[in-house]
């Protein structure tokens, strides 16, 4: 992957829109998508307290992602389902916000070394579908995650924007996982939203 890869488009308003940064991570084939996500989290997920949100478009994909990632010992993971009770939903959200506060208080994070014998705090992740994102208009607070991973790329710009508004901190990073023909959909989002979406650089950890 070439860190100097040119972005899909440029926009003069991007720098003034926010400090958020947008990337795409190309996957050769759909069958390699989950493996690619696990590999990505093998790097970023080892940063202590790192708050992350993974967005899926369907419940089936959410179940698959949750099942695959729940085996990672360095990540504390929760899933938000439509049939989750109001009390349980509030608890999941509150726990995640605590992780966000811990991340914001700590000095520059370094990846955990499983062999150093130290008890480092796990990174924290919520896996969620669009239907279960925070209801900001109803009084729920945004997640304010440091990293938003669009495991399934939304087909509409409005959905992409809603995921950002409800999930991502002002200086956060969006990573869009893109397979094959989805590059066209990503380009449409890029051009219609005014964002600059570049290929994910190798040094992504340095941006966290």
Residue 129 confidence class, pLDDT cut points 50, 70, 90: very high
Structure tokens at 207: 């941006």
Residue 12 confidence class, pLDDT cut points 50, 70, 90: very low
Identify the residue whose tokens are 């989805």. Answer: 182
pLDDT (mean) for 7-19: 41
Per-residue pLDDT of 64-96, as tens digits, reads 999 999 999 999 999 999 999 999 999 999 999
Tally the residues of the chain.
208
Q: Which domains does the chain have, with CATH numbers?
A: 14-106+118-207 (3.40.50.300)
Q: What share of the chain is helix, strand, coil (3-state, %, to 5)?
A: 40, 25, 40
Neighbouring residues of 116: CB distance < 8 A, sequence distance ≥ 6:
none
pLDDT (mean) for 108-120: 47
Structure tokens at 50: 């790192």
Question: 116, 123, 147: which is closest to 74 by C-alpha?
Answer: 123
CA-CA distance, 76 to 46, in Å (whole number)?
11
pLDDT (mean) for 174-202: 84
pTM of the model: 0.84
- Evaluate whether 157 touches 193 at the Cβ level (below 8 Å): yes
Which of the two residues, 203 and 62, has the higher pLDDT score?
62
CA-CA distance, 72 to 92, in Å (whole number)?
19
Is pLDDT above 90 for 43? no
Structure tokens at 75: 């990540």
pLDDT (mean) for 93-112: 81
Determine the pLDDT at residue 18: 52
- Evaluate whether 10 touches 198 at the Cβ level (below 8 Å): no
Determine the pLDDT at residue 19: 64
Question: If residue 43 lies in a helix (H) or strand (E), which one and from where to where?
Answer: helix 33-44
Q: Which of 85-89, 113-117, 141-145 has the lowest average pLDDT? A: 113-117
Phi (first) and psi of residue 129, to 5 degrees: -95, 165
């Amino acid at each position: 992957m070439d860190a100097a890869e040119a972005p899909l488009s440029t926009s003069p308003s991007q720098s003034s829109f926010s400090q958020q940064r947008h990337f795409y991570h190309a996957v050769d084939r759909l069958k390699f998508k989950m493996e690619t996500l696990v590999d990505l989290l093998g790097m970023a997920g080892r940063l202590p307290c790192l708050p992350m949100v993974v967005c899926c478009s369907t419940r089936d994909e959410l179940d698959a992602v949750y099942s695959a990632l729940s085996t990672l010992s360095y990540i504390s993971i929760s899933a938000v389902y439509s049939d989750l009770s109001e009390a349980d939903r509030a608890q999941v959200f509150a726990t995640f916000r605590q992780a966000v506060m811990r991340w914001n208080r700590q000095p520059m994070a370094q990846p955990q070394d499983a062999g150093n014998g130290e008890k480092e705090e796990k990174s924290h992740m919520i896996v969620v579908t669009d239907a279960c994102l925070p209801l900001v208009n109803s009084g729920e607070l945004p997640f304010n995650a440091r990293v938003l991973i669009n495991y399934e790329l939304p087909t509409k710009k409005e959905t992409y924007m809603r995921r950002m508004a409800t999930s991502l901190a002002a200086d956060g990073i969006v990573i869009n996982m893109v397979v094959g023909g989805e590059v066209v959909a990503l380009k449409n989002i890029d051009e219609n939203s005014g964002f600059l979406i570049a290929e994910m650089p190798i040094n992504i950890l340095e941006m966290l």
